[in-house]
Structure 1
Amino acid sequence: MDTMPTAPAAHRSWSLFFRSRDGLITVATLMAIALHLILWFGPGLSGWARDWPLVAVVILGGIPLMIEVARSAIRTRGGADTLAAVSIITAVLLGEWLVAAIIVLMLSGGEALEGAASRRASGTLAALARRAPTTAHRLRGADISAGTDEVPVSEIAVGDLLLILPHELCPVDGEVVEGHGSMDESFLTGEPYVVGKSRGSAVMSGAVNGENPLAIVALRPAEDSRYAQIVGVLREAEENRPAMRRLADRLGAWYTVIALALGVLGWAVSGDPTRFLAVVVVATPCPLLIGVPVAIIGAISLAARRGIIVKNPGMLEHTSRITTVMFDKTGTLTYGRPVVTDIHTAAGFAADEVLALAASVERYSRHPLADAIRNQAEKRGLVLPDVTEISERPGQGLTGRVDGRHIRITNRRTCQEIDPASRALMPVTAAGMESVVLVDDAYAALIRLRDEPRASAGEFIAHLPGSHDVERLMIVSGDREAEVRHLAGQVGVEEVHAGISPEGKLALVEEYNRRGPTLFLGDGINDAPAMAVATVGVAMGANSDVTSEAADAVILDSSLERLDELLHIGARMRRIALQSALGGMALSMIGMLLAVFGLLTPLLGAIAQEVIDVLAILNAARVGMVREPLSDFDRVPGG
């Protein structure tokens, strides 16, 4: 739940304002205007004696601003700010130093406010980057007793042996080579996992070590590790310029042409060049180019505070227009926490015996099926023997050595490759999930499991059409059709696509993209292609580098309520950004028309535009200022 901003937070925001170059120019300009007004009322003073503070601030402050505006125009980042340079030059030529100073004030003040708001909004990203470990303890020899050297994380190479001390952050992705303990990975995965670690266990950068030191071998350099990728995703989100901003740039260019044309018209009709100055002053700078980026960064910050990483800010403007939502099954509409329903054993093995062996090995795995097997063993009150060796590699399943026996937990196909005789011993395939246990490379048991739908899944499905105008809902899964249809019936989804390959998911998304904006929600690597081509791709949890890379947003705590909040954040951002941009433009247009007819002097026009710009920025900053929950469906406890 959001809280009211604290005094220190407000102090930091103003500190950011005053530390910037634009903030200093703003303060200097205010002081110059105040001094000019004092001199204005001074006895016997006129001309340069009163105007010198304004001349100084326009030259010293205006020239750097105009140089930056020129650079921005060359980079085609916007056309409206060029009106500031035109206005300052025109005011100087006409001897209107107070007007020129007010234009410098509005331009520098607007830029300083935007910069301060942007840096304040992106504080979550900075905090995440600061949390990254900067040093590591590299072992001098092959074991923990060899001693360590403290080295920068950037110097760690693949194959280096590192010592992770108790309660220390793991600096790189790696594998345990010595030691026995646990790591808290909840910050990275959003799941409340404290995972046991032993020889052969994988470790992730950014995870917090437990009570015991662990020796690991680095499998990736720091810049390629999991934590660095999450930080990189956030940094890319902050720097990426979405389509909505580019549209604002194009509108700003047209707005500049209109403002200059009206200024020339006023000058031509009246023969008075101050009409031209009044028009361009009231049009400068355009709130279109200030309000939109502040709104976007506010939305990124708001999402980050609620456990949502927005990788592609451009997706935020599409979330309120989604017509088709596609769900993967496991881990999205279900908890991803299956329960054991049946244990089929081979001759010579008892169910409790095999379950204890499997649960012992599964203590070192983060796989959802591992939780189910461990929970079942705990429910039966089984004593778990110690594991002396562990390994979990892609395509090989989970293997370990328990009481001198080699235990492998894998799938049906791999089991039949290792022990061909198991083909005749296994029960027929049924709906649900299964794990196969081999003891000393001989088939021992098949453990069947079934995942349960999230408590809020049915309510969320029913909520989407009425509250978000979603027209079509479907489950797209690679699981067997019987299993997918069973879940669909439980949550209220009528359209089902089962047994779909990653290529099939991709083709399905491309088909529906032609009918309108789509959202694909998944959590596995096989969902990555579909998420990459969907209008909005959302990953549940940060369990896969590939999935997180393909997604436009990542929901760290894997809850449907967070997805609903993301939809509301996008709609809120788009609505407020357009309010700031179009509202500011409309007010400026009114001011320009008044100036054309001589009803607004350059000085009054400058003051009016300053008010318009501040209103646009303050309105845009509202995006990130939400105290109440954003989700508008009543989430069932535990959902």
Structure 2
Amino acid sequence: MPRSLQSIDLALLLVSAASLLAGLCFAAAGRSAIARALWAAGALPVLLGLLVSIVKSLRRHEAGVDLLALLSIGFALGLSEFLTAAVIALMLASGRALEYYAEERARREMTALLNRTPRHANRFQTGEWRRVELDTVRPGDRLLVRNGELVPVDGSLTVHAQLDECTLTGESAIQQRSSGESVSSGVVNVGATFEVVAAASAADSTFAGIVRMVQAAQHERSPAARLADRYALLFALAALMIAGGSWLVTGEVVRALAVLVVATPCPLILAVPVAVVCGMSRCARRGVLIKGGGALENLAQASILFFDKTGTLTSGRARLVSIETGPGISAETVLRFAACLGQASAHVISEAVTTAARERNLVLSAPCQVVEQPGAGVRGEVEGHAVGIGTFAYVLSLASPAPWSAAFLQRVAYGGASAVFVCVDGTMVGALQMADQIRLETPRALRLLRQEGIRRFIMLTGDRRDVAETIGATLGLTEVLSEQTPSGKLEAIRAAQREGTVIMIGDGVNDAPALAAADVGVAMGARGAAASSEAADVVLLVDRLDRLVEGLRIARHTRRIAFQSMIAGVALSFAAMAVAAFGFLPPVLGAMIQEVIDVAVIANALRALRIRSTATAGSLSRSDADRLRSEHVELGPVMEQIRELADELPLLPGTSVAGALAGMNELLRRHLLPHEQRDDQEVYPGLARLIGGEDPMAAMSAMHREIYRIARLLRQMTDDVPPEGPNAASLCEFQRLLYGLDAIARLHCAQEDELFHALGDGA
């Protein structure tokens, strides 16, 4: 509501209240003529305001339902019911103030985004820091952000920073960001002063895009609001018919006036807009930006969900899955050589290899004499050794193929992954399997979406059929449409729209047409492609798929509350009109009752602000969740050695088997078993309190017991191995135990990672 209209409504409220009270005082003193004049004077400004409002609404082709209020005040004045006119005027003025308060309360989180728009930046120029207008900032500029200030534009950090991102993402925890990480405009510096190198202009930054979306959302009327307007016209006609009928039948015009009074203002035009804005505001608070009431309503009715694969179901970033090694070479050695050389390459796969090595706390040396062939590989010198990493064809030009390479390539192809081969001094020593892994929150998000009524899950991707179907089978999707072109995606969405309301989720530029075609387009992450965010109806400001569940749940509850409020308000108004038509409700009392109905309707609509989210009763701090996941990363080499020993056991000399198994038992005793015991005794009790229930961690503890059992059995069998080595049956049993331990430990870590991720979401 513009400031001018807000001031006018406040003035009307004060005038009507003052005139009513003053008139009552004069009436009590026996000065009835002055009292009537004051009551009329208080009603006339409200009457004039209603007339102006009706004309403006009709010019916008919107329902002029204030006509009932205009008629009721006009009737009251014409019948010399001046006290009734004054009461109606006060009720109308207070109703407008109440509606304004409700909408402002509902828009609080969305308005907070607009109020926090950066206006200036501190830029380094001519040897000093200068305060400049935000529009003058360009990519590459050095900017200074002091404690308590907003980051003005998107950029990259030059030092460590502590940031409050809650306005954008809904995450309450302070985020720790390192040098080189990207940072979005609009977040708050809550730590020491830092520098950021601008990566975009103000107009192209994340926050500016979000502000444009919010402004569009605040001006859009939802289909339900427009439908309510149409119903409101029917309601107004019905009220006029009831009022006119009671007048014609009884000849008492006061009854007609009473009917008009209780029908003013109409609850239809209050309930739906307030509830819809409440729902949008609640979503914004959880990092789900819905661009308008129409999108909220479509989301509430959705039953079919399309996904893009990369960056939506998966993380969009390559991660180390496994390491293949040649005879006598450890996995750690292969990874270290690859990571040392990878430091000199800006390729995303090289960065992923280097990241994997650092997660395992490997000490890396600086390479020299580096030569990179873009898209193929890198070669150089590491600690006096000639090292090469890259595709199989590239490394084949530097070394002869290894006996295991063909089988490894086949295995990588089955999984839809990529391979990084490593050669040292002309020998192919190993290879790394890299893959874009499924997001930790994806399985949970799909389970919750099923609970919310989504009946079809369809993956749309341009990837190969075997890769897509592997992901689809892993996640239990309804359908998988692979090798899709942008036009093919559009056709699939349009075909599905004949069966129900369709949601499409994506994050890339190529997803923009599909997002625009769907009933509800959802863009993943505010830092994603600008084209997808602009085309989408919903933007997940937090790069997490499970936030869509919260948006869907809030949308459905909001729609239910809106229609409950609308139906309840209309039913109460019709009941009051019936009572008034039969002469049991005088106009003054009717005005008061109608005010009570309006208050009840708005109060019910405001319940949409309190819709619960999918967040758990408690949550892990971000640092605790990251620490627990990092412990699993450190266990990665242990699990790789378990698998390697299982593979190599039949190839070892009989006399070496006992020593290899003893070494494995010692590795388990020092690393794996203490980790699981610590989880059971220290971590799980805290998690159980957060989750709630009598024994929520029972199934996870059972996996610990199975790991203990296998480790103990392995140790006992190792003690009984004869000097010449185990027989064929015992060797098979050792392999079975090692493979089983590897599978259980990996599955258990994956389950814990998913749990830590869910609990680390923040309330």
Q: How would you bin the TM-score normalised by the shorter chain? A: 0.7 to 0.9
After TM superposition, the structure 1 = structure 2 runs for residues 513-592 of structure 1, keeping only pairs within 5 Å, are 513-544=497-528, 545-592=530-577
- Corresponding residue of 2:320: 340
Distance in 2 (CA, whole Å) between partners of 1:128 and 1:448 is 43
**1:209-253 Cα distance to aligned partner (Å, 9 max, x none):** 786754746643x23322111122122222221211111111112
- Corresponding residue of 2:28: 41
Measure how far apart 1:103 and its partner are: 2.0
Q: Are 2:134 and 1:147 aligned?
A: no
Measure how far apart 1:332 and its partner are: 3.4
Distance in 2 (CA, whole Å) between partners of 1:68 and 1:411 is 71
Q: Are 2:31 and 1:50 aligned?
A: no
Of residues 218, 240, 245, the one that matches 2:220 is: 240
**1:453-507 Cα distance to aligned partner (Å, 9 max, x none):** 4555445434544x33333222222333323222222222242112223332222
Partner SS, residue 185 of structure 2: coil
- Corresponding residue of 1:376: 357
- Corresponding residue of 2:237: 257
**Closer, same or farther in 2 for the Cα pair 1:110/1:166, shift >3 Å?**
closer
Q: Are 2:92 and 1:107 aligned?
A: yes
Measure how far apart 1:560 and its partner are: 4.3
1:87–1:277 contact (8 Å) kept in structure 2 = yes
- Corresponding residue of 2:305: 325
**1:555-586 Cα distance to aligned partner (Å, 9 max, x none):** 23334442222121111111111111122122
Partner SS, residue 599 of structure 1: coil
**Closer, same or farther in 2 for the Cα pair 1:244/1:371, shift >3 Å?**
farther
AA of the residue aligned to 2:260:
V
Distance in 2 (CA, whole Å) between partners of 1:447 and 1:183 is 35
- Corresponding residue of 2:464: 480
1:458–1:490 contact (8 Å) kept in structure 2 = no
Higher Rg = 2
Q: Are 2:16 and 1:29 aligned?
A: yes
After TM superposition, the structure 1 = structure 2 runs for residues 249-288 of structure 1, keeping only pairs within 5 Å, are 249-288=229-268
Measure how far apart 1:370 and its partner are: 4.7
AA of the residue aligned to 1:379:
R
1:135–1:153 contact (8 Å) kept in structure 2 = yes
Distance in 2 (CA, whole Å) between partners of 1:446 and 1:185 is 41
AA of the residue aligned to 2:531:
V
2:416–2:435 contact (8 Å) kept in structure 1 = yes
1:162–1:218 contact (8 Å) kept in structure 2 = no
Distance in 1 (CA, whole Å) between partners of 2:222 and 2:6 is 28
**Closer, same or farther in 2 for the Cα pair 1:569/1:628, shift >3 Å?**
closer
1:435–1:448 contact (8 Å) kept in structure 2 = yes
AA of the residue aligned to 1:287:
P
Distance in 2 (CA, whole Å) between partners of 1:354 and 1:301 is 49
Distance in 2 (CA, whole Å) between partners of 1:51 and 1:384 is 94
Higher relative contact order (CA 8 A, sep 6+): 1
AA of the residue aligned to 1:541:
G
1:110–1:613 contact (8 Å) kept in structure 2 = yes
**Closer, same or farther in 2 for the Cα pair 1:457/1:225, shift >3 Å?**
closer
2:342–2:353 contact (8 Å) kept in structure 1 = no
2:144–2:195 contact (8 Å) kept in structure 1 = yes
| Structure 1: tracts of 5 or more residues without a match | 1-15, 388-394, 404-408
TM-score, length basis structure 1: 0.79
**1:41-86 Cα distance to aligned partner (Å, 9 max, x none):** 33x332x222233122112344234322332233233232221112
How many residues end up aligned between the 2 structures? 589
**Closer, same or farther in 2 for the Cα pair 1:576/1:186, shift >3 Å?**
closer
TM-score, length basis structure 2: 0.67
Partner SS, residue 256 of structure 2: helix
1:65–1:108 contact (8 Å) kept in structure 2 = no
Distance in 1 (CA, whole Å) between partners of 2:262 and 2:238 is 13
Q: Which moved more, 1:32-41 or 1:484-493?
A: 32-41
**1:140-179 Cα distance to aligned partner (Å, 9 max, x none):** 34xxxx224312213x154684433455544234679xx6
**Closer, same or farther in 2 for the Cα pair 1:546/1:352, shift >3 Å?**
same
Partner SS, residue 580 of structure 1: helix
**Closer, same or farther in 2 for the Cα pair 1:535/1:411, shift >3 Å?**
farther
Q: CA RMSD in A?
A: 4.4
Measure how far apart 1:314 and its partner are: 1.2
After TM superposition, the structure 1 = structure 2 runs for residues 443-454 of structure 1, keeping only pairs within 5 Å, are 448-454=433-439
The percent of aligned pairs where both chains have the same amino acid is 33
**1:71-124 Cα distance to aligned partner (Å, 9 max, x none):** 223323323222111211121111111221222222222221121121122222
Distance in 2 (CA, whole Å) between partners of 1:303 and 1:292 is 17
1:107–1:285 contact (8 Å) kept in structure 2 = yes
Q: Are 2:291 and 1:311 aligned?
A: yes
Partner SS, residue 203 of structure 2: helix
**Closer, same or farther in 2 for the Cα pair 1:386/1:225, shift >3 Å?**
farther
2:110–2:214 contact (8 Å) kept in structure 1 = yes
Distance in 2 (CA, whole Å) between partners of 1:386 and 1:123 is 54
**1:388-415 Cα distance to aligned partner (Å, 9 max, x none):** xxxxxxx99999x999xxxxx9997xx9
**1:270-301 Cα distance to aligned partner (Å, 9 max, x none):** 33332332222221111111111110111111
**Closer, same or farther in 2 for the Cα pair 1:180/1:272, shift >3 Å?**
closer
- Corresponding residue of 1:595: 580
AA of the residue aligned to 2:235:
Y
Distance in 2 (CA, whole Å) between partners of 1:260 and 1:518 is 41
AA of the residue aligned to 1:152:
E
2:160–2:176 contact (8 Å) kept in structure 1 = no
Of residues 96, 105, 108, the one that matches 1:123 is: 108
Q: Which has the higher helix share?
A: 2
Partner SS, residue 318 of structure 1: helix
- Corresponding residue of 1:604: 589
2:340–2:367 contact (8 Å) kept in structure 1 = no
Q: Are 2:271 and 1:291 aligned?
A: yes
**Closer, same or farther in 2 for the Cα pair 1:202/1:410, shift >3 Å?**
farther
Distance in 2 (CA, whole Å) between partners of 1:481 and 1:469 is 28
- Corresponding residue of 1:73: 58
Distance in 1 (CA, whole Å) between partners of 2:421 and 2:160 is 25
Distance in 2 (CA, whole Å) between partners of 1:562 and 1:160 is 33
**Closer, same or farther in 2 for the Cα pair 1:72/1:360, shift >3 Å?**
farther
1:299–1:624 contact (8 Å) kept in structure 2 = yes
1:542–1:554 contact (8 Å) kept in structure 2 = yes
Measure how far apart 1:376 and its partner are: 3.4
**1:357-384 Cα distance to aligned partner (Å, 9 max, x none):** 435766xx9x799567413333151336
2:156–2:197 contact (8 Å) kept in structure 1 = yes
AA of the residue aligned to 1:322:
A
Distance in 1 (CA, whole Å) between partners of 2:290 and 2:139 is 33
Distance in 1 (CA, whole Å) between partners of 2:390 and 2:54 is 62
2:522–2:539 contact (8 Å) kept in structure 1 = yes
AA of the residue aligned to 1:478:
G
Q: Which moved more, 1:553-562 or 1:276-285?
A: 553-562
**Closer, same or farther in 2 for the Cα pair 1:588/1:512, shift >3 Å?**
same
AA of the residue aligned to 1:493:
L
- Corresponding residue of 1:638: 757
Q: Which moved more, 1:488-497 or 1:330-339?
A: 330-339
AA of the residue aligned to 2:23:
H
Of residues 163, 178, 194, the one that matches 2:143 is: 163
